[in-house]
Amino acid sequence: MINKAFNIPLTKNPVINMKVVPGHFTTNHFHISHYLDLDNLKTNASLARDVAIELALPYLSSTLVDTIVCMEGTEVIGAYMAEELMQEGTSIVNSGRNIHVITPISNIDRKLMFQNNMQDLIFNKNIILVVSTISSGTTVNNALECLSYYGGHIVGVSALFNANPEILSQEFNSMFVNSDIPNYKTYKPDECEICKKGHKLDAIIYHDGYTKI
């Protein structure tokens, strides 16, 4: 499976590559034809900075930002985004401002929440939500619901990859989308064409990797 992996470069900056592994994968909600290995983009400091520059572009000249909320291991990217948004420049609206980078936690019911000392960074603040991958939209919608509960004002959602751009009503920015990957497909489990062809699942996908079956 891993031997069939290939890289897809970002057109605007070919240094940024998304590693793609074809196969038969499952998440909590879908069966998927490809696994996206984005770990290097999230953990390699040099690449994470390049990613942050791309993700910060839509906000530089027009969007006031107080807080960047990071999910799915995007904290390094979020920190570089804050740095990029705060750089000096007459056309950069956040020059001289403070931007905080935080991550929610899950309570015993697996609901997202912010601890008391973090809630002041959400209430009545302009917030960018950064995630690794948008597939079913469940993770993003749960995060948006959480941020709304704590009184945050969402000014943007940024993702490394968005599999279903049409599912979100919230404005989003993403580097890669499903059409960038040849033959990329997602299926409801009971409608999976790969299953119908008799192919067993290769692995279970989690936000930080996969486990072979």
From the list 85, 28, 100, 91, the residue with the least C-alpha distance to 53 is 85
Do 46 and 66 contact (CB within 8 A), yes or no? no
- What pLDDT, on the 0 to 100 scale, is given for residue 61? 93
Number of structural domains the chain divides into? 1
Q: Is residue 140 part of a domain?
A: yes
Do 66 and 35 contact (CB within 8 A), yes or no? no
Torsion of CA 192, 198, 204, 209, to 10 degrees: -100
Q: Is residue 65 part of a domain?
A: yes
Answer whether 0.85 is exceeded by the pTM: yes
In the predicted model, residues of the chain with pLDDT beneath 50 are none
Beta pairing, strands 153-162 & 172-177: parallel
Do 39 and 60 contact (CB within 8 A), yes or no? no
From the list 32, 56, 72, the residue with the least C-alpha distance to 188 is 32
Q: Is residue 93 part of a domain?
A: yes
Q: Is residue 188 part of a domain?
A: yes
Q: Is residue 25 part of a domain?
A: no
- CATH code for the domain in which residue 113 is found: 3.40.50.2020
- What pLDDT, on the 0 to 100 scale, is given for residue 139? 84
Containing 158, the helix (H) or strand (E) segment is strand 153-162
Q: In angstroms, rounded to a whole number, what is the distance separating the alpha carbons of residues 118 and 131? A: 19
- What pLDDT, on the 0 to 100 scale, is given for residue 1? 58
Q: Is residue 14 part of a domain?
A: no
Residues in Cβ contact with 158 at an 8 Å cutoff, skipping those fewer than 6 apart = 55, 81, 128, 129, 130, 131, 172, 173, 174
Reduced to 3 states (helix: H, G, I; strand: E, B; else coil), residue 139 is helix
Q: Is residue 31 part of a domain?
A: no
- Give 111-118 contacts, CB < 8 A, sequence gap 24+: 111/142, 111/146, 112/142, 112/143, 112/146, 113/146, 114/146, 114/150
List pLDDT tens digits, range 135-187: 777 888 899 999 999 999 999 999 999 887 665 555 678 999 999 999 999 99
- What pLDDT, on the 0 to 100 scale, is given for residue 154? 95
What is the span of the domain harbouring residue 181? 36-212
- What pLDDT, on the 0 to 100 scale, is given for residue 203? 93
Burial (CB count within 10 angstroms: exposed 0-12, middle 13-18, buried 19+), residue 107: exposed
Q: Is residue 20 part of a domain?
A: no
